[in-house]
Amino acid sequence: MSDKYDVIVIGSGPAGYVAAIRAAQLGLKTACIEKWRNAEGKGVNGGTCLNVGCIPSKALLDSSYKYHEAKDDLAVHGITTEGVKIDVPSMIGRKAQIVKQLTGGIAGLFKANGVASLMGSGKLLAGRKVEFTDNDGAVQVLDAENVILASGSVPVDIPVAPVDGDVIVNSTGALEFDAVPERLGVIGAGVIGLELGSVWSRLGSKVVCLEAMDSFLGMMDKMIAKETKKILTKQGLDIRLSCRVTGSEVKGKEVTVTFVDADGKEQQETFDKLIVCVGRRPYTEGLLAGDSGVTLDERGSIYANDICSTSTPGVWAIGDVVRGPMLAHKGSEEGVMVAERIAGQKPLVNYDIIPNVIYTHPEVAAVGRTEEQVKADGEPYNVGMFPFAASGRAMAANETAGLVKMIAHAETDRVLGCHIVGPSAADLVQQVAIAMEFGSTAEDIGMTVFGHPTLSEAVKEAALAVNGHAIHVANKRKRKK
């Protein structure tokens, strides 16, 4: 193994492996270091996203929804089902197989693109040297012209509910239940908490989400957040805001959680399982030697500027370990940008147009600014909305919950944001992201021919509604905000 590289990437999650592949495509001699090991102790690529994050959680979300649909929702289509059962170990096994296939796929992509895959841990030393310790404990110092730090993030732990991996788990443990818990507590009603709560609620758990904040999905448009909470509550999720957990006690196979509710009263709830989902933090343990020259900010993230360059020349940082939203696709784009900049190109990531998605059912998705943000910026704006209840395609699919909300500048008509709760929201919002990338106006989208009948027509109608031109819903009198 050569110890001199043009690029060494530490971490092979969506940020790291994409950076490594793109660097190699550009003719740079590249190595990627990954310390993750699977249940069998074998080194695997993919980081949190592929192993215990985005991919396995979506596998369980889809499996659980198919069970719920077969059990409860097919009668409206004239389909009668009896004796529908869930085999949890088989569901978990399917999830594991998907993970295995995708993580193995990265190994294949590394080989096809000429990336050296090094299984073990990497530590940045002074002078762009990397101390590599392989999975057998052998240590070697590697030289690099450029080092890309992509070590990702880990779940935040809280002292009042210490994870034991059995009764109290984090998001990783919640992907491995071998049976459906009768009573499930979730600390945190953010993206991860809602997704995991939805999985087990569909399978029969009585789910209580305890959220310390007094607002629901505070990063989302308020109207969309309100609609989402109404839909999820109707589905059976017990979402309690302004509930601050103060303690927990495990006795046998159950846990009693103590919390202060919105009225300031101390309450207790007993659960069979408790999931702690209060956020994630950058993972930098063992990553940086004291003389590496790389600095951290007040949140524990590696300091990096808008092109992901750190305080040390030739050292870059991307993905969850740097500022900004912890989203796999944000990290991937940063990986491409950094690889291309190392190769002498000048790309940028448009941080203003990064979609955000919650994979509940229906999905929640957003791109651009919320109405509250636009209003705070003092810009004149118009809003167009279209409910899925007025969509013929949504009616045919029995998926009429939710709406599309589009915000455009009142003077230029340029689209400023789009917020959706409804069927296929994750895919629909991407249409608007593309439009925004090209500086489109609401009129541009409204003039585009959309196939009929499709869910995407709701996006067109919302765009038309911005200027009072919607066809399939009554228009509100247009006014400047």
Report the catalytic residues.
452
Helix (H) or strand (E) segment spanning residue 21 = helix 14-25
Cβ neighbours of residue 410 under 8 Å, at least 6 residues apart?
379, 380, 381, 382, 480, 481
322 CB neighbour count, 10 Å cutoff: 24
Partners of 367 in the β-ladder: 418
Beta-sheet pairing, 206-210 with 30-34: unpaired
Q: What are the start-end ranges of the E strands in 309-373?
A: 315-317, 356-358, 363-368
Place of tokens 């709701």: 458
CA 13-18-24 angle, to 5 degrees, is 130
Q: What are phi and psi of 191, to 5 degrees?
A: -60, -55
C-alpha 62 chain-centroid distance: 16
> Can you read off the two tokens belonging to residue 375?
């209003």
Query: For residue 107, which amino acid is it?
Result: A
* DSSP letters spanning 282-324: E--TTTB-TTS---B-TTSPBP--TT-B-SSTTEEE-GGGSSS
CA 238-210-179 angle, to 5 degrees, is 70
Cα–Cα dist 87/89, whole Å: 6
> HSE-up of 455 (CA within 13 Å, CB side)?
24
137 CB neighbour count, 10 Å cutoff: 7
* DSSP letters spanning 77-131: GT----S----HHHHHHHHHHHHHHHHHHHHHHHHHHT-EEEEEEEEE-GGGEEE
Query: For residue 144, which amino acid is it?
Result: A
Cβ neighbours of residue 57 under 8 Å, at least 6 residues apart?
171, 175, 192, 195, 196, 199, 359
CB of 44 closer than 8 Å to CB of 103:
yes
Place of tokens 């955000």: 356
**Alpha carbon distances (Å) from 1 to 5, 10, 45, 136, 139:** 11, 17, 19, 15, 13
